[in-house]
């Protein structure tokens, strides 16, 4: 009996972890109301009146069009999450298209609420992610990398820092699915050196073990 109970608990925990990112929906759909039209603030989005829902609430056009990569990083992320496609509300999923110029970079970043699975459509990408801090302070964070070609798939675990770099001489693009209606994104360099107000020099010089002028130079790149 105790063994059966233990197995049951383990199965429940397994299914709980499977749906850990977003809660399961309690109805067929819950089309999101725009934030500026909402009368209350909730964890997520409030539901549109079902009688006012239309097919357009579940539709987003244009992912066949390449994004504009004319920027310092040479990449463009086109998101399709609950903010662009309100029908995704409560469904625990979203996607992006990412375009890369030759040698373009989607810089190190993390999604605090989602695992990401990426498939290469065109181009050659060098991708990777870094593990969280090991329990042993003498062990370094481990980097996993792979060179991807069209048709290849790679997964970035939830919350871990990851990146993609176009190592080819031609444009590249991918599609990626994420396990949250609103995965969030924290671009590491922007967050550390471009926050408003800025993180103090005392903190950053000690954290990075560099001179204050180095920190000032880095902050200047993001302001």
pLDDT at 76: 98
Beta strands 105-110 and 186-187: pairing type?
Answer: antiparallel
Q: What is the pLDDT of residue 50?
A: 92
Using one digit for the tens of pLDDT, what is the confidence trace for 162-194?
Answer: 999 999 999 999 999 999 999 999 999 999 999
- Supply the pLDDT for residue 21: 62
Annotated binding site: 106, 109, 111, 116, 162
CB 177 within 8 A of CB 93: yes
- How far CA 113 is from CA of 63, 137, 159, 188, 202, in Å, comes to 23, 26, 7, 16, 30
Could you tell me which residues are annotated as the binding site for oxalate? 106, 111, 116
pLDDT over 80 (residue 17): no
How much of the chain exceeds pLDDT 90, in percent? Answer: 79
pLDDT in tens, 31-69: 888 877 777 777 778 899 999 999 999 999 999 999 999
Higher pLDDT, 11 or 52: 52
152 SS3 class = coil
Per-residue DSSP letter, 142: P
N-term to C-term CA, the chain: 63
* Other CB atoms within 10 A of residue 147 CB: 12
Cα separation, 154 vs 149, in Å, equals: 11
Q: What integer pLDDT is reported at residue 25 of this predicted model?
A: 65
> DSSP letter string over 200-219?
PHHHHHHHHT--HHHHHHHH
Task: Note the pLDDT of residue 27.
Answer: 63
| Out of 33-47, 139-153, 188-202, least confident range | 33-47
Return d(Cα 222, Cα 217) in angstroms, integer.
9
User: What is the rounded average pLDDT of the residues 129-153?
Assistant: 96
Q: What is the pLDDT of residues 74-83, one digit of tens each?
A: 999 999 999 9
pLDDT higher than threshold 60 for residue 204: yes
The count of residues in the chain is 223
Q: Residue 174 gets which letter from DSSP?
A: E
Task: List Cβ neighbours of 112 (8 Å cut-off, separation of 6 or more).
Answer: 159, 183, 184, 186
Lowest mean pLDDT among 2-6, 84-88, 89-93, 119-123: 2-6
Q: What mean pLDDT comes out for the span 110-134?
A: 96
Residues placed in the known binding site for Mn(2+): 109, 111, 116, 162
């Amino acid at each position: 009996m105790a063994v059966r109970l233990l197995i049951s608990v383990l199965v429940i925990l397994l299914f709980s972890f499977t749906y850990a990112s977003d809660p399961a929906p309690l109805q067929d759909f819950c089309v999101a109301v725009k934030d500026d039209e909402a009368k209350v603030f909730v964890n997520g989005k409030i539901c549109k009146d079902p009688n006012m829902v239309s097919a357009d609430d579940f539709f987003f056009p244009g992912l066949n069009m390449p994004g504009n990569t004319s920027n310092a990083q040479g990449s463009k992320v086109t998101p399709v999450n609950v903010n662009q496609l309100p029908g995704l509300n409560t469904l625990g999923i979203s996607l992006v298209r990412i375009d890369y110029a030759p040698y373009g970079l989607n810089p190190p970043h993390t999604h605090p609420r989602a695992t990401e699975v990426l498939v290469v459509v065109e181009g050659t990408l060098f991708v990777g992610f870094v593990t969280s801090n090991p329990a042993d302070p003498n062990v370094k964070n481990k980097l996993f990398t792979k060179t991807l070609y069209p048709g290849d798939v790679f997964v970035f675990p939830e919350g871990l820092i990851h990146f993609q770099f176009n190592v080819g001489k031609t444009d590249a693009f991918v599609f990626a699915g994420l396990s949250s209606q609103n995965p969030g994104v924290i671009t590491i360099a922007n967050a550390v050196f471009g926050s408003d107000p800025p993180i103090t020099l005392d903190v950053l010089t000690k954290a990075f073990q560099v001179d204050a002028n180095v920190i000032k130079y880095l902050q200047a790149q993001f302001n």
